[in-house]
Structure 1
Amino acid sequence: MRWVLSLLCAARAFLETFCRHLIKSKPAAIRPRANSISDVTAHQAKRQRIEQPQTPSSAETRPFHNQVADENYRREVVDELSGTPGTRASHGKSTNRLVLRLLGKIEQPKTDSRHGVAEVLFCTGTEAAALVQSQSPHDAPIITHDQQQFRWKRTPRPIQQLFQLFARTMVLKDLHVSVQVPSRSTRSQSFEDKTLSEVRDRFVGTQSTDVNNPWNILDLQSPLPHCILPGFLAEENCQLLVQVKNKRLMANNAERARANPEEWNQWTNVLEWVLLSEGGNNTAPHTDSHGYATWITVQEGEIGFGWMSCPTEDERARWMASPSEYTGGRWRYVVLKKGQSIFFVPGTIHFVFRKRQHQTFALGGHVLQWSGLLQWIQVVMNQIRFPDSTNENLDESVPGLVKAVRDIASTRAEEEGVEAVGGKLTFDQFLASAETILSKTAE
């Protein structure tokens, strides 16, 4: 019996020794090493293609395209415009008649390239930044959200806070602003001069609002801190207009700009501005002046935004020749919600429509992209040829703008090479177009 126990003990010792040997000889689990810079670069995804949007990270989301809500909004505006009384020839009546015709044929945009060319791009902030930085920008409007650094307080509503900001530093009754009044005759200008105190009283409720004659304020200077630019536009490719402003204000002096207040405000109002409107006010199709690209961020209310999608050369030419009548082409629309930003490139033919129920408030501004030099100058040439196609007079401001862009682009081409301004062919075409404009405006 004793010899059996001895045998079992020996066997147990052998098994323990064998197991220890297996554990020591088992290959250790391979621990992933931290990525070096070269590793990250080697494994980065290629720049996203518009036709193949990447899945957004957990920290970012794309705006939701609510097709049902947008269609209900369109129908309500159509019903309101169909019942608009009066036959007097007025700016508002003419605009509403045209907008009603467009809303009768307009369709919702394609958002999925698997069903054809994407006509609008709903993007995360990261995706939007990649698109505007791209050297091959897409003509489709870009829509994103939560890109504004500035934040309103919870109460009161943003429109009231806006006028509070004005009142802190200015006497409202001493400030004047142009207000579009729809009832004004087509034989006169579409706007009237109002004091800012009159506008405040109209919008914050101390006066009754005439729903059949809603005011629209397009040229209101922003009193907000300079942090309203959507984050996705803070890209080097979108800074050309800022560089033009600096060149004009610095006047070849590297010291801090000492421009007079009028000139400084002029450039501030180009880069950022306020859109304030009562419900039911509509804007006819147009292209934004001076060939500017535009961004708009909704602060309060909802804004219907319509545009001509991917116009052919013939469609664009026919629209420019008769912008108040032509309704051909493919018209698309979205309804912009609070917190959403839209960006569209120079020459985008667009219009705005609003329900009567709510006032709307948006912040906006203009940019120029280095990658769009040739497109920009071609839009400016068309606007000079067809002045009714744009929303502002170009007058004497165009030559100075064109000359400044030409000089800045030429300097960059000399310092960084012609590829930095689109390549030799593109840059030569740009220079030729710029000289054509400058020679004609000098006559």
Structure 2
Amino acid sequence: MASDTAIQEAESAIARLATPPMIPDPYPLYDAIRRVDRVYESTTLGAYAVTGYKEVNTAARMASMRNGVRAAAMQRPDWQEHDALRLFLRALVNLDPPEHPAMREVAAAVFTPNAIKRMRSSIERLAHRFVEELAERARDGEPVDLVPALASPFPVAVISEMLGVAGDQGMLFYELANDWTRIWGGYYTDADLVQADKSVAELRGYFSELFRARRAERRDDLISALVEQHEAGRLDDEDLMALATFLFISGFETTTNLISTSVYTLLENRDQLELWRNKPEITASAVEELLRHGTPISGTVRLTGETIRLGGKEIPPGRMLFLMTAGANRDPLQFTDPDRLDLTRNEGGHVSFGGGAHYCLGANLARMEAQIVLPMIINRFSGIEVAGEVEWRTAIGLHGFEHLPLALSD
């Protein structure tokens, strides 16, 4: 039985985790919750906080689970009046059966492992370009902000090329998408929602033009493949828009955070940075460890569709579960010395990409991009230092940087 003090600390941790802005080091808060219970029924949340690796992994794979974010958003009485919310609720990540399996099947038919493998040479070309541009910006000795210089535009360029978005439009789409995703975590102001509605209207216009262009002339890109699915009757108009915009966002959100947090984490763990430089063969395990250690998207919300047993508890239907993947990735029952970065770690997979029916569609693309660009960065520059005040992202659930100024030298 947990003490009153421990329970108070857990409730305080949950309140902080649920209140913007996101903090740079949330892991002691997950520990405080886990000390009370790995599946903790919080009075602050009115829901369960799940921080155990086994429990998060199990819950993510339960077929009876429903999307908690979708359920919460639809409790807003005016959600249908906001285009940003309507399109958000049609996004693949928010769908439940029977819509989700049907949409996922279409997405998997176009966003295939082979399509991602075919991008490897393009990813290498784009990574080389952005790393060399980084070097050029650093030649005068001034700090270079990694986020706008590479961490954001590189994955945007990759997914833009896959979809068939023109290079000069990719970052415009990115800015509009950022306005939209600001409301995805559920914590936003009225001004955020107004801007999201405006930006979604612009995104719709741009993607509608792309659809019209591909109907007139097919290309070897994902937009053409989606248009074919639409014309075959497997997507209606709104599904086509929702899936195209979601694939665009899923192509950069995780990777942008992963690149920036990985570089920062390596600079804080110089022994591991040097190990990777000297042993390039550890690249695959290094990226997996960076995904575990600095989980780019810290959690997700599920709603029980029936009575379940989890962590020794019986949980009735209609209850919210906050699956805290970042906390699960630092669970000491799963990982030895979990706060330590070990690029050669081999203790089972992380849960950074979720699991079950909602396993991240872009996981393999994010892995490939990180495996290519991170070694390029650490080997291109012999000197890498943080050179100024860093700024973490403030959106709840997103772990990454807005600004990461670096001093770089050959």
Higher relative contact order (CA 8 A, sep 6+): 2
**Which has the larger share of strand?**
1
| Length-normalised TM-score, structure 1 | 0.22
| Length-normalised TM-score, structure 2 | 0.23
**Which has the larger share of helix?**
2
Larger Rg, first or second structure (1 or 2): 1
